[in-house]
Amino acid sequence: MRVLLVCLGNICRSPTAEGILRHKLEQAGLADRVEVDSCGTGHWHLGKTPDRRARAAAARRGFDLSALRARQLDDSDFQRFDYLLAMDHDNLLALEARRPPDCQAHIGLFLDFAGYEDKAVPDPFFGGARGFEEVLDLIEAGADGLIATLRRRLETSP
């Protein structure tokens, strides 16, 4: 099973989601069955580490984002991943616009898995520390819901 988490620049929300999801998958004993990656729809931060504020906020909760590097969405991602999950509506629209006709992946909002129907993870880039804490709260809930869905799907697959 492969999951791709998508935001605009791949330095705040999606790498935070990648780090948290990987950590929680390890705790759930599913790390060897689920591959996780993140990317941005934009190209501004290619190869950069996550934003220092995102790294610091995540570290305070025990999540290490230091090894992650920003990359941009590639057309091959639509074939490589089973789930392409956007952090907000604009990035969801970008995914849908680039979706090839033969794509079988689930494309949707990350927070749909937290039961927050049609809710976006807000971009904390231009805000203060509280914005990064809110993002962590939302992403932890999304990761927990996604793991429950993935566990059910993995239990029914051969």
Catalytic residue among 7, 22, 39, 88: 7
13 is catalytic: yes
Catalytic residue among 12, 13, 22, 51: 13
Put the strands of the sheet holding 35-40 in their side by side order: 35-40, 2-7, 83-86, 106-109
- Euclidean distance between CA atoms 23 and 44, whole angstroms: 27
64 is catalytic: no
- Give which of 1, 43, 12, 14 is closest to 111, Cα–Cα: 14
Catalytic residue among 37, 77, 112, 123: 123
Helices then strands, counting H and E runs in the chain, come out as 5, 4
- Euclidean distance between CA atoms 90 and 120, whole angstroms: 9
- Give which of 15, 74, 66 is closest to 41, Cα–Cα: 74
List, by residue number, the catalytic residues. Answer: 7, 13, 123
